[in-house]
Amino acid sequence: MTTAKRLFVLVLTVTVVAACATSPTGRRQLMLVSEESSIVSSKQAYLETVSELDNAGKIEEDRAINARVRTITGRLITEAVKMRPDTANWEWSVVVIDDPGTVNAWCMAGGRMAIYTGLLQKIEPTDDELAQVMAHEISHALAKHTAEKMSMQIATSVGVAAVGIASDNTGVALSGAALTAMLAVNLPNSRAAENEADRIGIELAAKAGYNPAAAATLWQKMGAASKSGTPQFLSTHPNPDNRQQTLAQLEKSMRQYYDPDAEHPVYQMR
């Protein structure tokens, strides 16, 4: 390997090590993309996506459905901002997408969210279970998982390029085509990210006055729905066999936060 090639690999290694960050649960994360950059990219992707859906008549206009989703999500955001005060500056929003065939929900970096009517119709979640869905999604944003997934895409691409250089394969080039915020939302989450979102999400929901026991029953419903075809939610949120058991264990420690009779302010979204 030439000196130039060794230098490239060394710089790559140092960059990756220097770009490590710590998640809210203390997990080490690779952050080649800053959260600020992921928020900017997410906003553009979100606005373009929602505009296209709106033009196609795919935005749910039912007032009762929207009020339910906004109330539950608003209570969760109130707790999210308490957990991470800097997110008060995010442009929090949620839209219901009229797509009965899609069982999914997501939250992008910066707090822009969506939930599909397919999840509401096929899972038929209670308010407590719907809170678990949205809290889980919000937790992905709080834990900077969009930026993390985008960073992993960069690291993978750069790693491939480094191997190419080291082996004199000049045909391998670094490509940023896959580095879009929407792709990051649609890529499967790692098991570590899922565990983290489960842990943060069940706490957010409990503090917002939603029964933590609903986390386990939600995944039971997701499992039942998968028998008639894998919901998109499960393709991006892998369901380990022990997930329900883990959530049941978490429920016990979350009871200290759960007070459905307390005042639970609804965050006023933009």
Span 207-233, pLDDT tens digits: 999 999 999 999 889 888 877 666 778
Q: Which residue has the higher pLDDT, 184 or 250?
A: 250
What is d(CA 169, CA 141) in angstroms, rounded to the nearest whole number?
Answer: 38
Tokens 């999400």, residue located: 201
Structural domains of the chain, count: 1
Task: Please report whether residue 25 resides in a domain.
Answer: no
What is d(CA 246, CA 251) in angstroms, rounded to the nearest whole number?
Answer: 9
Q: What is the mean pLDDT of residues 189-193?
A: 77
Domain of residue 131: give its range. 35-146+180-257
% the chain with pLDDT above 70: 72
Task: Please report whether residue 17 resides in a domain.
Answer: no
- Name the band, by pLDDT with cuts 50, 70 and 90, for residue 173: very low
Task: Please report whether residue 5 resides in a domain.
Answer: no
- Name the band, by pLDDT with cuts 50, 70 and 90, for residue 171: very low
Task: Please report whether residue 4 resides in a domain.
Answer: no
Non-local CB neighbours of 194 within 8 Å, separated by 6+ positions:
237, 238, 240
Say what the pLDDT of residue 154 is: 65
Task: Please report whether residue 91 resides in a domain.
Answer: yes
Mean of per-residue pLDDT scores for the chain: 80
Say what the pLDDT of residue 183 is: 53
How many angstroms from the chain centroid is the CA of residue 19? Answer: 21
Across 21-30, 76-85, 158-167, 172-181, least confident range: 172-181
% the chain with pLDDT above 90: 51
Task: Please report whether residue 158 resides in a domain.
Answer: no
Task: Please report whether residue 74 resides in a domain.
Answer: yes
Say what the pLDDT of residue 101 is: 93
Task: Please report whether residue 268 resides in a domain.
Answer: no
